[in-house]
Amino acid sequence: MIRIREAAVAGSFYLDDPGELQATVRRLLDAVSTVRGPAPKAMVVPHAGYAWSGPVAASAYARLRPHRERYRRVILLGPCHCLAFAGLAASSVDAFRTPLGDVPLDRASIDALRHPAVSTIDAAHRPEHSLEVQLPFLQSVLASFSLVPLVVGDADPSDVAAVIDSLWGGPETLVLVSSDLSHYLEYDTARSLDLDTCHAIEQLDCRHIGHAQACGATPLRGLLLAARRHGLQAVTLDLRNSGDTSGSRGRVVGYGAWMLVEAQPCERAA
């Protein structure tokens, strides 16, 4: 019997009608004017509702369109918003479901994980949106792929980096970290803090990224440690907040998108 993790936030964070969802994702992707550049090895993307963070997430996912046949496996890490636990939570199911269909999990890779920080905690996955909201974008831009989903709880970033290293693979593997930036600050304050976080990411410097800077600070810091070891460089694709995408600038949430590439100059994309 195939075990399915059902969609938890379809109809709230994104549309639950398959046709309308596909049209919305396509519209967001088509609005990205520049998709030049190498195939990313890793990306950082936001995870709010599509009305708020969708345009920023699309600026990263559009970069995958020219390389849709390249990727066969996605390592997806995001923070837990619903359950307190230590380490990284794997899932026991066979597929994650969205209105666009089922995404198969790479059970061989998941079952082979032997790091002591990793355990199977389905309760961490069941209501979690930080991973789920990425799936319709991935289903729209990649031809066919399997998924290694990991919800990150109270973990040491070095353990996260070690797990990423163990799953690194080759050009067929994309590493994806899901994180928003600052939360509920006044617009100009948020812009200043998020710009500092952006500069830290561009320098692969995790020392000054805490949970005030990014809700997914722990998986983000782990990715930056791994990226430094693997000689990657970070390119900023977008940096905005909900005041830019939804209009209200009283208390905003920050969103950014980055790609990490091999042997490329560290610069902002045009």
pLDDT given for residue 266 in this prediction:
45
Domain assignment of residue 89, yes or no:
yes
Domain assignment of residue 194, yes or no:
yes
φ/ψ (deg, to 5) at 247: 105, -35
Measure the CA–CA gap between 62 and 64, rounded to whole angstroms.
5
Strands 146-152 and 118-120: unpaired
- Considering only CA atoms, which of 31, 89, 86 is closest in space to residue 58? 31
| Percentage of the chain lying above the pLDDT 70 cut | 97
Counting the structural domains of the chain, the total is 1
Whether 238 and 257 have beta carbons less than 8 Å apart is answered as: yes
Measure the CA–CA gap between 126 and 114, rounded to whole angstroms.
23
Range of the domain at 205: 4-262
Domain assignment of residue 137, yes or no:
yes
Domain assignment of residue 150, yes or no:
yes
Tokens read off for 223: 């990715």
Residue with tokens 């994650």: 96
Whether 12 and 21 have beta carbons less than 8 Å apart is answered as: no
Domain assignment of residue 269, yes or no:
no
Domain assignment of residue 185, yes or no:
yes
Q: What order do you get walking across the sheet with 95-98 strand by strand?
A: 4-5, 95-98, 101-104
For residue range 164-202, list pLDDT tens digits in order. 999 999 999 999 999 999 999 999 999 999 999 999 999
Cβ neighbours for 40, distance < 8 A, ≥ 6 positions apart: 60, 63, 64, 174, 259, 260, 261
What is the chain's alpha carbon radius of gyration, rounded to the nearest angstrom? 17
Mean pLDDT calculated for residue range 31-52: 93
Tokens read off for 68: 């849709």
CATH number of 56's domain: 3.40.830.10
Q: Is the pLDDT of residue 31 over 70?
A: yes
Measure the CA–CA gap between 163 and 137, rounded to whole angstroms.
24
Helices then strands, each counted (H, E), the chain: 10, 12
Mean pLDDT calculated for residue range 257-263: 91
Tokens read off for 136: 């319709």
Domain assignment of residue 270, yes or no:
no
Domain assignment of residue 140, yes or no:
yes
For residue range 193-231, list pLDDT tens digits in order. 999 999 999 999 999 999 999 999 999 999 999 999 999
Mean residue pLDDT of the chain comes to 95
